[in-house]
Structure 1
Amino acid sequence: MKKTIIAMALACLPLAAAADTTLYGQIKSSISASQVKIKSTDGMAKSAAATRINDNTSRIGVKGSETLGGDTKLIWQLEQRVSVLGDRQGWGTRDSFIGLQGKFGTLRAGNLNNILHEMDGFNPWMGTPSAAELGLSAYRGGSRSISVRYESPKFAGIHADLQYAPRDNQNPTDRYTHEKAGRDQYTAGLTYTRPNHYAKLAYTLRKNRVGSEDGQVARLETAYHADKVFLGLGLSYSRANENANTYLGYFTDGFNRYNHHDITADSRKNEAVESFDAALTAGYNSGNFRPRISYAHGRAAKGMHSGKTLVDKFDQLIVGGDYRLSKRTSLRGQLAYLRVGGNTLLYTDAANRTHKGKIEQTAASLGLHHRF
C-alpha cells in the first residue's frame, strides 16, 4: 500500500511541473502573557494573568497558472488556515480563487480578501492577544468573502481595484425569497507603488451592516522602506461598521465582566458608532535585527444618532522587533500597552444609571515565524 501511494505521488510530479504549480505557506506561533483591567469609580475588575500558546495565522496553499494564448493566463489558488494547535480544518478557508490574467489586468472569483484586509504593512506584529497588534487600525473593514475582484493594469505606478460580494452569497439561506435585508459589499481602491514607497487608498460599503445602517470604512496606508529604515502610517475612518458593544469588545480580549455585568452587551451600546484612528510604525534594520515601535490613537467612538461618547478615545504602544535566524525564519518579540479612556460607558444598572470607566490591557509575546 505504501509503495502504491509513493508511486502515485511520483507519477504526479511531472504533471505538477508542467502546470506551473507551487506549494507555499507559513507557520507562525507564539507564547504570550496578558492581563486586562477595567476601572471606574465603582472599583476595579482585574483578569488573571493569562499565559497561552497561540497560532498566529499559519497557512498552507497551492497555486498555479497555465498559459492560454498570447499573454493571457489562467491563474488559480487554494489556500487554507492551519494551526499548530490543531483547531483548524477545511479547504479554501483563505484566499482561494480561479481567474484570468493578461494585458487587461487580473480578474478573479472565489473566496477573496478585499483590499482593506491586505492593508496591514504598518502592522508587523504577531496578533494574539488583541493589544499585541494594530488590529483596529489595520483590519477595520477588511473581510474575506465569496466575491469577484478586478485589478487593473498599472499606469505610471498606479492600479485600481474593484470588488463585489453578491447579495445571495452574503445571504445564502435567503437567496430565493429575499425576505432579509441584503448584505452586498462593494469595495474600491487605488494603489501607487515605487521602489521604496507605496500608498494605498480604499473604501468599502457593506449594506445593512448594523441593523438598517450601511457600514462604511475608508483607509489610507502609506510606507517608506529603504534598506535600513521603515516608516509606515495608517489612517482609518469608520461609520456604522459596528455597534458600540462590538467596538468595545476589541479592547477587552474576551474579559468582559464588571460588577456582574457583561460590558459588551449593554442595550445602550447597540447603537452604530463613528470612529477615526491613526497608527504609525517606525523601524530600523541592523544586520539580522529589526527593531520596531508602533503607536496608535483613536478618537472617541460616538453614537451616530445620539452623538454621545459610548467608547472613549484609545492609545496603544507596541515595542519589539524581529531577529532573522535565516532567510525564511525569524524570532519575534514584543511588549504592548493599550488604554481606553475613562469616559467609556461600561453598563447601565437596574435603576437606569450609567456607569463609566476605562480599560487597560498589557501584553508580552515571543514567537517564531517560518515561511516555505
Structure 2
Amino acid sequence: MYMGIHKMNKTIIALATAAAIAAPVANANVTIYGKVHVSVDHVDQDGSTVWNVMSRASRIGFKGTEDLGNGLSLIWKAETTYDFSDGSAWDSARNAYIGLTGDWGTFLYGIHDTPFKMSTGKLDLFADTLADNNSTIGFHDVRADNAIAYISPNMNGLTVAAAIIAKEGQHSDTGLADAYSIAAMYSNNGLYLSAAYEDLGGPGNSIDHVSKWRVGAGYTMNAFTLNGIYESRDRNNQGTQNHWQVQGGYSFGNNVAKAMYGVSDSLNDSNKSSWALGLDHKLSKRTSAYALYVDSEHNLASEMGCDSPCAGDGFSFGMIHNF
C-alpha cells in the first residue's frame, strides 16, 4: 500500500513539475521553426574543379504573437542563419523584428527583407540553390537593417508594401528615411504581378549607392508554371545595368521539373547569360530532395559579394527539411 502511494506521489510531483515548466512556454505563444538545406556541389570555376558541401540559407527562428484586443495583435520574430555544413552555430542575422498587425495591415521595425526583395521572392524556382537568380543573373536583393515597414492587407488580390531605412550616420546619412523601398503585388487565380522601386541612398549595409526598379510576372495553370523578372539598376551613377530571367516548371506526381534562362549586362556592356535545369522530388510534406545543373558564362562572386562558389558551371544535389 505504501509503495503504491509513494509511486502515485512521485507521479503527481512529476506532472506538476512538467506543467510548471511548460506553462510559461504555452503562455508566451512562441513557435520554434526552421529549415535545414544542405547541398553537395561539383563546380567548375576558372578552370578549377571544386567539390563543396554547402549549407544554403539554413535557419532557425522563433516567433510569436500576443492578442492586444480590439482586433490588434503584437507580433515578433527572431531568425538567424545556422550553418549545417561548417558548424557555425549562429551565423548572419535574418529577419528579426517587432510590430503590430490588424485589419489595417502590418507595421514592423527591425531587420527585414525590403519590399523590393519581397516583390519577386516567390518567382524564383531555384531559390537558395547554386542556380539562385541572385548569384547567376545578378539580381540585387537586400535584407535591410534598421527598417521601418508597412504591409497592407490583401485588397482583392492587391498588396502594397513600403519601408524606410535609417542609415544611422553612415556616410553622413542621418535621417530616418535615408533609403526607401516600395512594392505592389497582385495575386489572383494563378496570376502574379509585381512592380517595385528601391533607392538605397549612400554607402551603407556594405553596398554602394544603388537605385533600381523591377517588375515580375508569374502564371500557374494546372501543372505548368511560367515566371519572369526584369530589373534595371543604376550603381554610383556609372550607368544602367539590366537583368532579366524566365523560369518554367512542370509538376507531375511528387516531382517538379524546372528550367531557367537569364541574361545580365555589366557596366562594360558585355552580356552574360546563365541557364539551369533541375528536378525536385518531394519525399514528404516537409522534406524534399533535388538535383540541378547550372551553366554560367561568368562567376558573379566578386561582383556581387556573395559567398564563393556564388555561381558557375556545375551539378548540385541537395536535401531540404522544414520544421
TM-score relative to the length of structure 2? 0.82
Partner secondary structure for residue 125 of structure 1? coil
* Alignment-derived partner of residue 228 in structure 2: 233
Structure 1: give runs of 5+ residues left out of the alignment.
1-5, 38-45, 172-179, 242-270, 303-309, 341-359
Question: Which runs of structure 2 are paired with 1:102-251 in the superposition (5 Å)?
Answer: 102-118=102-118, 119-125=120-126, 127=128, 129=130, 132-136=131-135, 137=137, 139-168=139-168, 171=170, 180-182=171-173, 184-209=178-203, 214-240=209-235
Moved over 6 A (4+): 6-9
Q: How far 1:77 sits from its partner (Å)?
A: 0.8
CA distance in 2, matches of 1:228, 1:25: 28
Q: How far 1:160 sits from its partner (Å)?
A: 1.4
1:78-99 Cα deviation digits (max 9, x unpaired): 1111011244344881111110
Q: How far 1:114 sits from its partner (Å)?
A: 0.7
Cα distance change, pair 361–18 in 1 and its aligned pair in 2 (3 A): closer
* Alignment-derived partner of residue 302 in structure 2: none
* Alignment-derived partner of residue 312 in structure 1: 270
Q: How far 1:199 sits from its partner (Å)?
A: 1.6
- Whether contact under 8 Å (1:78, 1:92) holds in the other structure is no
1:20-59 Cα deviation digits (max 9, x unpaired): 321111100000011123xxxxxxxx2x201010001101
CA distance in 1, matches of 2:62, 2:179: 27
1:288-328 Cα deviation digits (max 9, x unpaired): 11100001012x323xxxxxxx2510111100120111111
CA distance in 2, matches of 1:330, 1:213: 37
CA distance in 2, matches of 1:75, 1:362: 42
Q: CA RMSD in A?
A: 3.0
CA distance in 1, matches of 2:123, 2:162: 23
Q: How far 1:146 sits from its partner (Å)?
A: 1.9
Does 2:258 match 1:292?
yes
2:321 aligned partner, one-letter code: H
* Alignment-derived partner of residue 324 in structure 1: 282
Equivalenced residues, count: 294
1:189-242 Cα deviation digits (max 9, x unpaired): 1111214222221111011249x984112111221124411111111111116x
* Alignment-derived partner of residue 12 in structure 2: none
Partner secondary structure for residue 202 of structure 2? strand
Cα distance change, pair 63–142 in 1 and its aligned pair in 2 (3 A): same
Partner secondary structure for residue 14 of structure 1? helix
Match of 2:32 among 11, 15, 23: 23
Q: How far 1:159 sits from its partner (Å)?
A: 2.0
Cα distance change, pair 222–11 in 1 and its aligned pair in 2 (3 A): farther
- Whether contact under 8 Å (1:82, 1:89) holds in the other structure is yes
CA distance in 1, matches of 2:65, 2:297: 47
* Alignment-derived partner of residue 303 in structure 2: none
Question: Which runs of structure 2 are paired with 1:49-128 in the superposition (5 Å)?
Answer: 49-90=49-90, 93-118=93-118, 119-125=120-126, 127=128
1:371 aligned partner, one-letter code: N
- Whether contact under 8 Å (1:23, 1:63) holds in the other structure is yes
CA distance in 2, matches of 1:74, 1:92: 25
* Alignment-derived partner of residue 44 in structure 2: 35
- Whether contact under 8 Å (1:295, 1:317) holds in the other structure is yes
Cα distance change, pair 332–181 in 1 and its aligned pair in 2 (3 A): same
Partner secondary structure for residue 167 of structure 1? coil
Which is further off, 325-334 or 15-24?
A: 15-24
* Alignment-derived partner of residue 307 in structure 2: none
CA distance in 2, matches of 1:151, 1:87: 35
Partner secondary structure for residue 153 of structure 1? coil
Cα distance change, pair 16–224 in 1 and its aligned pair in 2 (3 A): farther
Q: How far 1:138 sits from its partner (Å)?
A: 7.2
Tell me the percent identity: 22
- Whether contact under 8 Å (1:79, 1:92) holds in the other structure is no
2:172 aligned partner, one-letter code: A
Q: How far 1:127 sits from its partner (Å)?
A: 4.2
Question: Which runs of structure 2 are paired with 1:342-357 in the superposition (5 Å)?
Answer: none
Q: How far 1:277 sits from its partner (Å)?
A: 1.2
Cα distance change, pair 203–9 in 1 and its aligned pair in 2 (3 A): farther
* Alignment-derived partner of residue 277 in structure 1: 243
Q: How far 1:104 sits from its partner (Å)?
A: 2.0
- Whether contact under 8 Å (2:82, 2:91) holds in the other structure is no
- Whether contact under 8 Å (1:123, 1:138) holds in the other structure is no
Match of 2:266 among 301, 304, 313: 301
1:301 aligned partner, one-letter code: S
Q: How far 1:8 sits from its partner (Å)?
A: 7.5
Cα distance change, pair 20–213 in 1 and its aligned pair in 2 (3 A): closer
CA distance in 2, matches of 1:66, 1:144: 25
Cα distance change, pair 35–274 in 1 and its aligned pair in 2 (3 A): same
Cα distance change, pair 141–223 in 1 and its aligned pair in 2 (3 A): same
- Whether contact under 8 Å (2:95, 2:143) holds in the other structure is no
